[in-house]
Amino acid sequence: MPFTMTADLTHCGALLDAMPDPALLVGQDRRILLANPAARELFAAPLNGASALSYLRQPEPAAALDRALAALAEGARGKPGFEARMFQTSPTRETVLRLTAVPLAPEQGLPGVLVTLRDISHVEEAEQQRRDFVANVSHEMRSPLTVLAGFIETLKGPARDDPAATAQFLDIMEREAQRMSRLVSDLLSLSRVESEEKVRPRAMVSLSEVLRATLAALRPQIDEAGLVVDFRDLPEAPQIPGDRDQLVQVFHNLIENALKYGASGGRIDVSLDRVEALPGLSGPALKVQVRDHGDGIDAIHLPRLTERFYRVDGHRSRAMGGTGLGLAIVKHIVNRHRGKFTIRSTRGEGSTFAVALPIA
Residues forming contacts to ligand ADP in the complex (CB under 6 A) are 253, 257-258, 261-262, 292, 294, 297, 305, 311-313, 317, 322-327, 351
Which among ligand ADP, Mg ion, none contacts residue 36 (Cβ within 5 to 8 A by kind)?
none
Inter-residue contact 267 to 304 (CB < 8 Å): no
Which among Mg ion, ligand ADP, none contacts residue 67 (Cβ within 5 to 8 A by kind)?
none
Alpha carbons 328 and 307: distance in angstroms, whole number:
6
Beta strand ranges found along the chain (DSSP E) = 23-26, 32-35, 82-89, 94-103, 113-119, 204-205, 228-232, 240-241, 267-275, 285-292, 340-346, 350-358
Q: C-beta of 342: minimal distance to ligand ADP in Å?
A: 13
Closer residue to ligand ADP, CB minimum distance, 116 or 351: 351
Which among Mg ion, ligand ADP, none contacts residue 324 (Cβ within 5 to 8 A by kind)?
ligand ADP
Nearest to 229 by CA among 202, 197, 262: 262
326 forms part of the interface with Mg ion (CB under 5 A)? yes
Closer residue to ligand ADP, CB minimum distance, 66 or 313: 313
CA-CA distances (angstroms) from residue 141 to 6, 148, 180, 193, 216?
64, 11, 7, 21, 31
Closer residue to ligand ADP, CB minimum distance, 169 or 261: 261
CA-CA distances (angstroms) from residue 215 to 228, 238, 263, 326, 327?
11, 20, 16, 17, 18
Alpha carbons 154 and 160: distance in angstroms, whole number:
8
Which among ligand ADP, Mg ion, none contacts residue 323 (Cβ within 5 to 8 A by kind)?
ligand ADP
Number of residues that bind Mg ion (CB under 5 A): 3
CA-CA distances (angstroms) from residue 299 to 20, 258, 314, 317, 350?
40, 17, 17, 18, 12
Cα-atom radius of gyration of the chain, to the nearest Å?
30
Neighbours of 255 (CB within 10 A): 25
Which among ligand ADP, Mg ion, none contacts residue 214 (Cβ within 5 to 8 A by kind)?
none
Q: C-beta of 150: minimal distance to ligand ADP in Å?
A: 24
Closer residue to ligand ADP, CB minimum distance, 122 or 139: 139
Which among Mg ion, ligand ADP, none contacts residue 193 (Cβ within 5 to 8 A by kind)?
none
Alpha carbons 207 and 242: distance in angstroms, whole number:
9
Q: Which stretch binds Mg ion (CB under 5 A): 128-136, 236-244, 250-258, 328-336?
A: 250-258
Q: C-beta of 235: minimal distance to Mg ion in Å?
A: 29
Closer residue to ligand ADP, CB minimum distance, 180 or 359: 180
Q: C-beta of 102: minimal distance to ligand ADP in Å?
A: 48
Chain mean position to CA 14: 38
Closer residue to Mg ion, CB minimum distance, 208 or 257: 257
Q: C-beta of 294: minimal distance to ligand ADP in Å?
A: 6
Closer residue to Mg ion, CB minimum distance, 257 or 289: 257
22 forms part of the interface with Mg ion (CB under 5 A)? no
Closer residue to ligand ADP, CB minimum distance, 105 or 217: 217
For CA atoms 255, 258, 263, 265, the dihedral sign is: negative
Q: Which stretch binds Mg ion (CB under 5 A): 26-34, 200-208, 222-230, 251-259?
A: 251-259
189 forms part of the interface with Mg ion (CB under 5 A)? no
Determine which residue in the list 116, 257, 345, 352 makes contact with Mg ion, applying CB under 5 A.
257
Q: C-beta of 170: minimal distance to Mg ion in Å?
A: 27
Nearest to 357 by CA among 305, 283, 254: 283
Alpha carbons 310 and 140: distance in angstroms, whole number:
12
Kindly list the residues in this chain that would bind Mg ion in the complex (CB under 5 A): 253, 257, 326
